Amino acid sequence: MRKSLTITAATAALFVLPVAAFADSHTQEFRANITQANETGASATADLSLDGNNLTVSISGDGFFDGFPHAMHFHGEPGGDNVCGPLNPGEAGFDEADVDGDGFLSVVEGVPAYGPVTVSLTTEGDTSPDSALAVDRFPTSSTLDYERTFEVSDEVAENLSTLHIVIHGADLDGTGEIGTLENEDGTMKESSLDPDLPFEATAVAACGQITAVAAGGIDTGAGGTATSSSNTGLLAAGVLGLGALGTATALRRRGNQVA
């Protein structure tokens, strides 16, 4: 009797485990540990969940300039060899990357390493490179508190782990304001992308490589689609469990944008 019960339990496990694995296999998890550039002291963690072409991106940051739009992008040629590159003075290769020798890494100076904008992590609307400077649609808090689900191209979906998250906007001269950094002649130092924007508005604040999370490395219970009420609950629990997403703004945003 005891033996048959054991066999039954083991047999049941053989059936249950593959089913559970299959149920989660369509969702892939990624993460990016985003570290400071230009010695901003800012950092962030991004968690990404890919279900087909639907990508959910959650970013919790710390130390970003509070009260100014932080343009955030995926950078890189999908499938290419991009890297965040030297981001801070003193790092190997920084002096070569800092072409104008001003001691700061501008957006354009970072492009040879991290590549072009592939996706714009806007809070609403278009997410293409066309929205790279949509300053009214990016997070503005020091913790970013970003959460959005949107559709990505096959090319991006298949090559996520070759891309990088770059976060822009930094108070480089420590005045407590964006736009006070000046050229030697006293004029406003301009963005390398748009002369109407201050250099500090688009300067690189932080960068992190997107990497795949090994299956089973995190709770795959959150891997369901939003069509199942039980999986939706688990997804919400998983997102909330990441912490630092507790502001009313973030909750409203999530309510609007996560189906």
Per DSSP, the three-state class of 210 is: strand
d(CA 72, CA 69): 9
Quick note: the x/- pattern for Cu ion over 156-185, rule CB under 5 A, is: ----------x-------------------
Closest residue to bound Cu ion by CB:
73
Contact call for residue 73 and Cu ion (CB under 5 A): yes
How many residues bind Cu ion (CB under 5 A)? The answer is 2
31's tokens: 């993460």
In terms of phi and psi (left: phi > 0; alpha: psi -120 to 50; beta: otherwise), the region of 40 is: alpha
**143, 46 contact by CB (below 8 A):** no
Q: Which window, 55-63, 67-75, 217-225, 233-241, contacts Cu ion (CB under 5 A)?
A: 67-75
Per-residue contact flags (x/-) with Cu ion for residues 122 to 161, judged by CB under 5 A = ----------------------------------------
Pick 130 or 182: Cβ nearer Cu ion: 130
Helix or strand (DSSP H, E) at 225: none
Residue number with CB closer to Cu ion (32 or 166): 166
Q: How far is the CB of 117 from Cu ion (least distance, A)?
A: 5
- Distance between CA atoms of residues 32 and 18, nearest Å: 29
Bridge partners of residue 151, in order along the sequence: 54
What distance in Å separates the CA atoms of residue 183 and residue 132, rounded to the nearest whole number? 25
Nearest to 172 by CA among 223, 107, 121: 107
Question: Between 73 and 253, whose beta carbon lies closer to Cu ion?
Answer: 73
In the complex with Cu ion, the residue whose CB is nearer, 37 or 235, is 37
- Contact segment (CB under 5 A) with Cu ion among 34-42, 44-52, 71-79, 137-145 equals 71-79
Taking the complex as a whole, the smallest distance from the CB of residue 71 to Cu ion amounts, in Å, to 6
DSSP 63: S
Give the nearer residue to Cu ion in terms of CB position, either 57 or 166.
Answer: 166
CB of 204 to Cu ion, least distance (A): 8
Q: Least CB distance from residue 51 to Cu ion, whole Å?
A: 25
CA–CA separation, 15 vs 26, rounded Å?
A: 19
- Residue pair 172/156 in contact (Cβ under 8 Å)? The answer is no
Nearer to Cu ion (CB atom), residue 166 or residue 210: 166
